[in-house]
Amino acid sequence: MLPRVCEPPPVDPKLEADAYREMDHEEVNRRFVLDLLESGPVGPRVIDLGCGPALIPIALCELAEQVANGNLDCADHGSDLSNLEVMGVDQCIEMLELARVELEFSGRVGQIQLEQVDLNDLDALQSELAETVISNTVLHHLDNPTNAMRLAVKTLRPGGRLFIRDLCRPESDEEVERLVDLHGGPSTDAESPVGPRQLLRQSLHAALTLSEIQEILKSLGIETDRVKMTSDRHWTLDCTRPEIEN
């Protein structure tokens, strides 16, 4: 099995944030939001942990509005999707600056709030803030993802829903390279250290395996069958808040 190699801290956060924003995430973001809306209740308050340029909060507000207006078919879980309030949090100020621009472009400034938060800090957010806590491809950035999972559980209201998706570390270098070839865009002679292929390669090496995330779930009292492989490179956790020991 490949050992986990944690992500190096960004050398140039502005360059990396810009490089991330330039990649095309539209389809994976849409898939994330549709899977979230299709498979359970959402909101009215939602927190996105590690929101990056806030493209998922924006897609969520847009698609939820379409469902609420009857313009998009979606299973009815009894949620009032017409008035979602979303908070996007991220540690990286450069990402939050990009997010602010995206919110202005999309006209969602009044609906989506941004805050600088380090997911390693369990006191960074109040308890029981939201009915739904979401996060996409963030845990692999953290040396100790258990802290962020504890924070996620803490910010959920009783009965609230946790929906987290991240990459899964492959078993071999060959499998990493196969996924980079499939999903990292075209190969070039001089691969940029902040190009999509290298970022994906690094992220796959830093990702948790399914059994590693299951160990974390066990420690939090969440049933391990709530996490499943949902693509050739992602796992998804969808569960309600476990009991919290005081």
Ligand X SMILES: C[S@@+](CC[C@H](N)C(=O)[O-])C[C@H]1O[C@@H](n2cnc3c(N)ncnc32)[C@H](O)[C@@H]1O
Interacting residue with ligand X among 33, 56, 151, 164 (CB under 6 A): 56
In this complex, which beta carbon is closest to ligand X, that of residue 23 or of residue 72?
23
Interacting residue with ligand X among 33, 60, 86, 92 (CB under 6 A): 92
d(CA 134, CA 67): 19
Residue listed under structure tokens 């390693």? 120
Residue 196 CA to chain centroid, in angstroms? 18
Interacting residue with ligand X among 79, 111, 132, 136 (CB under 6 A): 136
What tokens were used for 227? 């996490």
Among the residue ranges 76-84, 136-144, 185-193, 211-219, the one whose residues contact ligand X (CB under 6 A): 136-144
Specify the DSSP element, H or E, that contains 159: strand 156-167
Residue listed under structure tokens 């996105």? 48
Among the residue ranges 45-53, 75-83, 166-174, 187-195, the one whose residues contact ligand X (CB under 6 A): 45-53
Residue 112 in contact with ligand X, rule: CB under 6 A: no
Interacting residue with ligand X among 36, 46, 55, 156 (CB under 6 A): 55
d(CA 3, CA 170): 10
Residue 52 in contact with ligand X, rule: CB under 6 A: yes
Residues 151/153/156/160 CA torsion (nearest 10 deg):
160
Residue 233 in contact with ligand X, rule: CB under 6 A: no
What minimum distance in Å lies between the beta carbon of 218 and ligand X? 23
Residue 60 in contact with ligand X, rule: CB under 6 A: no
In this complex, which beta carbon is closest to ligand X, that of residue 199 or of residue 222?
199
d(CA 5, CA 28): 24
d(CA 168, CA 198): 16
Interacting residue with ligand X among 67, 138, 176, 222 (CB under 6 A): 138
d(CA 159, CA 162): 10
According to DSSP, the β-strands at 234-240 and 227-229 are: antiparallel
Interacting residue with ligand X among 42, 46, 119, 216 (CB under 6 A): 119
Residue 91 in contact with ligand X, rule: CB under 6 A: yes
Among the residue ranges 72-80, 90-98, 209-217, 221-229, the one whose residues contact ligand X (CB under 6 A): 90-98
Residue 51 in contact with ligand X, rule: CB under 6 A: yes
Residue 95 in contact with ligand X, rule: CB under 6 A: yes
Residue type, 180: V
Residue 86 in contact with ligand X, rule: CB under 6 A: no
43 with 132: CB under 8 angstroms? yes
d(CA 7, CA 114): 24
The residue ranges that bind ligand X (CB under 6 A) are 25, 50-52, 55-56, 90-92, 95, 117-120, 136-138, 141-142
